[in-house]
């Protein structure tokens, strides 16, 4: 009984560590993705990453004119005939120009994570 | 976990992440392709031009405000009238222009759609995403990134 309980704990811990590893990989991708758009203003931070096959995430932090830290997380949901942008719980369709920027960013992102982060696994 | 096991798991995850990015890019290319076709569809309809989408490629000359039929080329997309040289830096509601990067291309192969959505893990919801960023200021963050 005790052995079974300990085994269960061990499996749970292993899963937690694997999830943490996975999250850290995403964090590192996000950091690389944030470098694709040039310099960020002082005090700001930018991240960009592929969450899954249909979702891209862009996170931006900046200091506003009142010196307050602001942040915005934007999720791009890619569908066969268009892209939806979710910001603050509101959805809106992405216009072609922004979609093309997103595509351009995604191409470079894929290349960079493949060569800079995951080259050891190939 | 043993070191060898960690490396094995990291490799599995790495392959998975690269696949996600590759499929994510393919889906994005398909969506943008379809959006581009829609925009040109609308532009053509607005100008009352008869056309055959299967065999004909159209170009809009920037500034000329007219459509011109050109010889079809394999996988050739029409020029995008929205591409601007030296575009202004967008505000915080638009994804920033990438600087300097490759020149905007008008060509890319028609991608395959990967309809099978893989099970999302770790970040499954908006709440998970918020949590992802809440933990961002963890001072151990940099150290825990695998080499």
Q: Is B68 helix (H, G, I), strand (E, B) or coil?
A: strand
Which residues on chain B are in Cβ contact (under 8 Å) with A36?
A: 98, 101
| pLDDT tens-digit readout, B31-71 | 998 888 887 777 766 665 444 444 444 554 444 444 444 44
A74 close to B (CB below 8 A): yes
pLDDT over threshold 90, residue B21: yes
| pLDDT given for residue A109 in this prediction | 93
- Whether A18 shows a pLDDT value over 80: the answer reads yes
- Of the candidates B90, B41, B17, the residue with the CA atom closest to the CA atom of residue A51: B17
Higher-pLDDT residue of A24, B135: A24
Answer with the residue of higher pLDDT: B62 or B96: B96
Q: Is B40 within 8 Å of B51 (Cβ atoms)?
A: no
Global pTM reads: 0.64
| Domain boundaries defined on chain B | 3-82+100-141
Region A33-51: mean pLDDT is 87
Please, which residues have CB within 8 angstroms of residue A28's CB and are 6 or more apart in sequence? A117, B145, B146
Residue B28 and residue B36 in contact, taking contact as beta carbons nearer than 8 Å: no
Give the mutation candidate from B10, B13, B26, B32 for the A interface (greatest A CB count, under 10 A): B32
Give the pLDDT score at B99.
Answer: 44
pLDDT at B39: 79
Confidence of residue B22 (pLDDT cuts 50, 70, 90): very high
**Which residues of chain B are within 8 Å of residue A104 when distances are taken between CB atoms?**
98, 101-102, 104
Q: With contact defined as beta carbons under 8 Å apart, do A48 and A55 qualify?
A: no
In this structure, of A45-49, B33-37, B93-97, B138-142, the range with the lowest mean pLDDT score is: B138-142
Residue in chain A lying closest to B119 (CA): A52
Among A12-21, B106-115, B125-134, name the one with the lowest average pLDDT. Answer: B106-115
Of A39-43, A45-49, B46-50, B54-58, minimum mean pLDDT range: B54-58
Domain span holding position A84: 2-121
In total, how many domains does chain A have? 1
The CA-CA-CA angle for residues B38, B98, B142, to 5°, reads 125
Taking only the tens place, the pLDDT of each residue in A77-87 is 999 889 998 88
The residue-averaged pLDDT of A10-29 equals 86
Which pLDDT score is estimated for A77? 92
């Amino acid at each position: 009984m005790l052995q079974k309980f300990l085994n269960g704990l061990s499996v749970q811990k292993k899963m937690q560590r694997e999830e943490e590893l996975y999250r850290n990989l995403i964090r590192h991708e996000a950091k690389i993705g944030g470098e694709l758009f040039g310099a960020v203003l002082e005090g700001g931070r930018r991240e960009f990453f592929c969450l899954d096959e249909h979702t891209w995430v862009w996170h931006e932090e900046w200091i506003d004119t009142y010196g307050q830290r602001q942040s915005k997380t934007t999720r791009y949901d890619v569908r066969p005939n268009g892209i939806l942008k979710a910001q603050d719980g509101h959805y809106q369709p992405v216009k072609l120009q922004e979609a093309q920027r997103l595509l351009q960013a995604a191409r470079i992102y894929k290349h960079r994570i493949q060569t800079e982060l995951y080259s050891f696994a190939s | 976990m043993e070191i060898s096991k960690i490396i094995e798991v990291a490799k599995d995850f790495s392959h998975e992440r690269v696949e996600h990015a590759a499929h994510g890019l393919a889906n994005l290319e398909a969506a943008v392709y379809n959006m581009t076709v829609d925009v040109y569809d609308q532009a053509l309809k607005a100008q009352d031009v008869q056309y055959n989408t299967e065999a004909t490629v159209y170009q809009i000359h920037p500034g000329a405000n007219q459509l011109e039929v050109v010889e079809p080329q394999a996988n050739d997309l029409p020029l995008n009238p929205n591409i601007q040289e030296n575009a202004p830096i967008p505000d915080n509601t638009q994804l920033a222009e990438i600087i300097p990067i490759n020149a905007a291309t008008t060509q890319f192969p028609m991608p395959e759609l990967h309809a099978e959505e893989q099970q999302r893990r770790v970040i499954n919801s908006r709440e998970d995403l918020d949590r992802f960023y809440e933990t961002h200021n963890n001072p151990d963050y940099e150290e825990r990134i695998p080499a």
